Structure 1
């Protein structure tokens, strides 16, 4: 009983001591520590109107500071093409339309936003590299880039990343005929783009051995550097054959909607167009490779011309990376969808520049391909009827047809170029 009273006494004493401390704190407010103030967001007055006016005077006025050649170097395209893109974006994409805030102050102009985006694509620098000149912050510049790429894909993707139409095939076949490869519609290859900020959990899937993670672009390009097919996003651990299994490059043929092509090589008729490739691709009727160790003058001449013409796709990759350093430098983005949009938009812009700078496609005289009866050496039909009786996949993967076509091409190259002095 005594111990219980003693315990109760101590509890009462502790309670009184605690009450005394709280009373002292409330009476002396200086003892209570003040909560930390939230760090205020730093606002920078960038004078965006001044930046817009300077941009206009430098490049878009009647007497610009920098001439046409400097404009093309820094914007990667001619001024009329850039203004055409800006006009479409500013009229059809809400983000690029000029607005005013509640105080009546104008927003960033469409020229500022598009310039910020194209400079990031062209030079591959960070989003804050355009701040001093175009006068917009890092987050705004990054948003401009992603809105710009999405707008380019939406407005121009159907036209400038299309499959060849019958008219396009006619031009491609004429070009192939002149270069000694009747029925050839381009060359195919793959390119790797390093992904610097690949998530750690994905690095094993996107890296080969101890290499850096990459994503792969499969493309088909023609002699004028136009990219007709682009399949991007496959992990870097996949080789060209694995990517081919996933690629939609032959979907039109499989689905029976590809235009039918009939042409003659060495007097023999063929009805399936083909691509020039390197040695890793399979021996299908749609692929023609070089000869690894050519023996004899005919095989050596064929290997020489095949390897020369096949460089078209590698030239296209080189020009694409030179125009848009963003696809040459390692990608700093985390979002795979945004990376895909950047690659796709760069290819579309690349094709727009190719079309703008080549003018009329008819750069050569194709009269030599007209037969005695006034007909071309090939014909293009709207509908394919062979697919109704023959399995399209068997036609594509026909090894026997591949070997026959290759032998005929060897003879065709020899007949066409074998008499030239440097080929004898």
Structure 2
């Protein structure tokens, strides 16, 4: 991250946590400077080094370095979680939906996938393998959907109405209306075209995980921490810091996303309006669960998207051979 972002974090932590202030002990000896504590934590996150390795550069012992890391991660979560780890607002959702429409997937709000983080010190009794389905069952991603606390997105595909936003996913996920999967071994031209676009758009989540692991090497290598709670706060703080970096460097990126706001990108100056009203809590919780897991709607949505992509290809004028 750039220097002013790091100094902002150091200043906020110093103002809100007495641990990140320079104190004097009973022998009137000055303690560790707050900048050194934050630098220790950032080096452990960015380079994935052991706690003892920091002593060579900042002259802080291993036990103190681990305490700096824990307090730093907890402080980052407490200070910035509400801003950099929140659900999309109404404006964010509208922008995402319009961008998704330009990419050929109306109603899509992103991609979903599972990133694996190996645990080096995993106890033998807890040893096991978690795949995307296990993680999904434990995840609170769709809890708000079942409880009716999220906006219901209304859009049309081939004159068929849909009222639930969806994610692009790979083949391991179940056939729910909230997931649009690729077609395995496509045979027809429409299926091949749909699989090409779906897999191309789904690479966004793979790139996001790749950038996250490149910036914070601690989550790319086997985790050395013993406590599950420590692993959780490290992962959450890395995601928050990543979002802070993205926000700070957004102006330096190529204007990729803004191109979709221009009418030339889609060939139409009237983008499809999306309704994102928040409905009251469902009177019947089981009905909400059945809607979320309706495989029939999943297959209908996939078929409509296949036809939509083929319709766009037909509308493109063919080039004449010279």
Q: TM-score higher than 0.5 here?
A: yes
Mapped partners of 2:209, 2:97: distance in 1:
22
TM (norm. structure 2) is: 0.89
Which stretches of structure 1, 4 residues or longer, exceed 6 Å deviation after superposition?
369-372
Matched-pair contact (CA < 8 Å) for 1:194–1:331: yes
| 1:341 to 1:130, Cα distance in 2 relative to 1, 3 A | same
Match of 2:180 among 260, 275, 288: 288
Q: Distance in 1 between matches of 2:280 and 2:270?
A: 22
- Could you say which residue in structure 1 is the equivalent of 2:228? 336
Partner of 1:393: 289
What's the TM-score once normalised by structure 1's chain length?
A: 0.69
- 2:218 is matched with which residue? 326
| Aligned partners of 1:276 and 1:287 also within 8 Å | yes
* 1:383 pairs with 2:275: no
| Structure richer in strand, relative to its length | 1
Which residue in 1 is equivalent to 2:15?
91
Call closer, same or farther: CA 1:417–1:353 in 2, change over 3 Å. Answer: farther
The residue number in structure 2 matching 1:71 is none
Unaligned runs of 5+ in 1: 1-76, 207-236
Partner of 1:186: 110
SS in 1 for 2:115: strand
Question: Does the CA-based 8 Å contact 1:98-1:109 persist in structure 2?
Answer: yes
Does the alignment pair 1:260 with 2:152? yes
Alignment partners' CA distance in 2, 1:421 and 1:308: 23
Identify which of 291, 302, 309 aligns with 1:413.
309
Question: Can you give the 5+ residue segments of structure 2 that lack an aligned partner in the other structure?
Answer: none
SS of alignment partner, residue 162 of structure 1: coil
Deviations 1:279-328 (A, max 9, x none): 11111111100011112221111000101111111111111111111001
- Is the counterpart of residue 297 in structure 1 residue 192 in structure 2? no
What is the rounded CA distance, in whole Å, between the counterparts of 1:186 and 1:143 in structure 2?
Answer: 36
Which of 346, 349, 372 matches 2:241?
Answer: 349
Shift of 1:79: 1.3
Higher alpha-carbon deviation: 400-409 or 385-394: 385-394
Residues 217-257 of structure 1: CA distance to partner in whole angstroms, max 9, x if unpaired? xxxxxxxxxxxxxxxxxxxx232223222221111111111
Kept after mapping to 1: 8 A contact 2:260/2:266: no
8 Å CA contact retained: 1:264, 1:378 = no
Larger Rg: 1
Q: 1:197/1:370 Cα in 2 relative to 1: closer, same or farther (>3 Å)?
A: closer
- Matches for 1:34-183 after TM superposition, within 5 Å: 77-183=1-107
Of 143, 147, 164, 1:272 maps to 164
1:331-355 CA-partner distances (Å, limit 9, x unpaired): 1111111111111111111121122
Say what the alpha-carbon RMSD is for the aligned residues. 2.5
CA 1:417/1:319 → structure 2, altered by over 3 Å: closer, same or farther? farther
How far residue 152 of structure 1 moved from its aligned partner, in angstroms, is 0.9
CA contact (8 A) 1:86 1:110 kept: yes
How many residues are aligned here?
Answer: 313
Q: Distance in 2 between matches of 1:343 and 1:118?
A: 13
1-structure distance, mates of 2:49, 2:313: 47
Q: Could you say what secondary structure the match of 1:167 adopts? A: helix
**For the residues of structure 2 that align with 1:238 and 1:157, how far apart are their CA atoms?**
26
